[in-house]
């Protein structure tokens, strides 16, 4: 037997796991083989050194800690059962995300409604307004309008055809205004845009919506023709809630020398800009032309009509942030310049 094959057997020999005959032959071999004898001795010393390594004792807290962890584990396993196969976790997360989205949309919309009243409203040149509103009030009393016209007035923003300088109405309207625009930010903005007495005018228009009138005329059948297109114009603030998506009507005034020529040019310019004329009304000392102009053409449209005369109120429109791909309702007041 070679020494190489012998070494593995010597390991088993130490363990006493060899059959008797093999054991005898090994004992016989090591008597004569110095190398194997030395190897066996080294192996025996190694095993003895290993066996002499003393035992270590567990720390006294070990049992307690294991049992405590075991008891905790039951609680943990309920938690795990619920959350780890993700039976509850994923639906919970999904629900949470859903709720957050809904809340975000709601807040956004609520905020938008608050913002709505501060949109620029018809700006009237001071002199004609006074004159006009007085006469208008008179007309209201003297001659009842035919239903179609009345409805038109109702749907229209009430600013131009209300007796807006009535002090009692203004006072009534003021507390309401604070409800509509409670944010200081919004108020500041309003001031910035409308620093003059026209703010009061606006407030009348905004808050004193002719709601009663609206109700009265709601049942009146529509006049054929233009009413349908008219309805696309968000006019009465009472409808603001329903018309959030629509742009508020903007207004300009245009002082010209020749109203008829200017009116003809205006109509042409509206068509050229890709817009439409929604309504035309005669006013004391001029006309009110309601139009809808594509947002993209707005600047060039204003520039074009400026050729006819002096335009007031364009800055508010040009500085306002308007949606790019919508048409903007625009009311133009044509006045004869003095």
Chain positions contacting another protein, by CB under 8 A: 7-8, 11-12, 15, 17, 42-43, 45-47, 49-59, 62-63, 65-67, 69-71, 73-74
Residue 74 CB, shortest distance to another protein, in Å, is 7
Adjacent-strand bridge partners of 310: 255
Taking the least distance from each CB to another protein, the nearer of 81 and 139 is 81
Residue 16's region, left for phi above 0, alpha for psi from -120 to 50, else beta, is left
Taking the least distance from each CB to another protein, the nearer of 31 and 50 is 50
DSSP 206-240: HHS--HHHHHHHHTSPPPTTTHHHHTTS---GGGT
Helix (H, G, I), strand (E, B) or coil at 55: coil
Taking the least distance from each CB to another protein, the nearer of 45 and 257 is 45
Other C-beta atoms lying within 10 Å of the C-beta of residue 249: 23
Cα–Cα separations (whole angstroms), residue 266 to 95, 120, 154, 254, 256: 55, 22, 25, 10, 11
Residue 6 CB, shortest distance to another protein, in Å, is 11
Taking the least distance from each CB to another protein, the nearer of 52 and 167 is 52
Residue 37 CB, shortest distance to another protein, in Å, is 13
Residue 43 CB, shortest distance to another protein, in Å, is 6
Residue 36 CB, shortest distance to another protein, in Å, is 13
Residue 79 CB, shortest distance to another protein, in Å, is 15
Phi, psi torsion values for 280, nearest 5 degrees? -130, 130
Taking the least distance from each CB to another protein, the nearer of 18 and 223 is 18
Phi, psi torsion values for 183, nearest 5 degrees? -75, 135
Length of the chain: 338
Adjacent-strand bridge partners of 280: 289
Taking the least distance from each CB to another protein, the nearer of 16 and 225 is 16
CA distance 330 to 279: 11
How many Cα atoms sit within 13 Å of 246 on the Cβ side?
A: 19
Taking the least distance from each CB to another protein, the nearer of 54 and 324 is 54
Residue 88 CB, shortest distance to another protein, in Å, is 22
Other C-beta atoms lying within 10 Å of the C-beta of residue 327: 21
Other C-beta atoms lying within 10 Å of the C-beta of residue 312: 17
């Amino acid at each position: 037997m070679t020494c190489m094959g012998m070494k593995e057997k010597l390991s088993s020999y130490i363990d006493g796991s060899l059959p008797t005959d093999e054991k005898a032959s090994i004992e016989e071999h090591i008597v004569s083989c110095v190398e194997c004898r030395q190897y066996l001795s080294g192996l025996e010393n190694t095993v003895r050194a290993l066996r002499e390594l003393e035992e270590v004792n567990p720390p006294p807290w070990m049992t307690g800690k294991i049992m405590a962890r075991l008891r905790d584990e039951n609680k943990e396993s309920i938690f795990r059962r619920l959350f780890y196969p993700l039976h509850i976790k994923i639906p919970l997360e999904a629900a949470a995300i859903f709720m957050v989205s809904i809340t975000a949309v709601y807040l956004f919309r609520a905020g938008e409604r608050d913002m709505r009243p501060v949109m620029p409203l018809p700006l009237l040149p001071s002199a004609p307004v006074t004159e006009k509103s007085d006469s208008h009030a008179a007309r209201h009393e003297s001659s009842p309008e035919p239903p179609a016209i009345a409805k038109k007035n109702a749907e229209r923003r009430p600013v131009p055809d209300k007796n807006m300088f009535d002090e009692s109405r203004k006072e009534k309207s003021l507390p309401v205004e604070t409800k509509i625009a409670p944010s200081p930010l919004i108020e500041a903005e309003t001031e910035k845009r409308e620093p003059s007495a026209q703010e009061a005018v606006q407030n009348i228009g905004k808050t004193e919506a002719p709601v009663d009138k609206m109700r009265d005329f709601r049942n009146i059948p529509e006049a054929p023709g233009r009413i349908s297109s008219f309805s696309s114009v968000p006019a009465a603030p009472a409808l603001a809630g329903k018309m959030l998506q629509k742009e508020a009507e903007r207004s300009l005034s245009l002082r010209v020398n020749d109203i008829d020529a200017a009116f003809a040019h205006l109509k042409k310019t509206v068509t050229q800009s890709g817009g439409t004329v929604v309504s035309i009304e005669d006013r004391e000392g001029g006309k009110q032309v309601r139009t809808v102009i594509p947002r993209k053409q707005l600047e060039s449209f204003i520039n074009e009509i400026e050729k006819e005369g002096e335009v007031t109120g364009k800055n508010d429109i040009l500085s306002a942030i308007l949606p790019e791909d919508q048409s903007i309702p625009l009311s133009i007041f044509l006045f004869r310049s003095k």
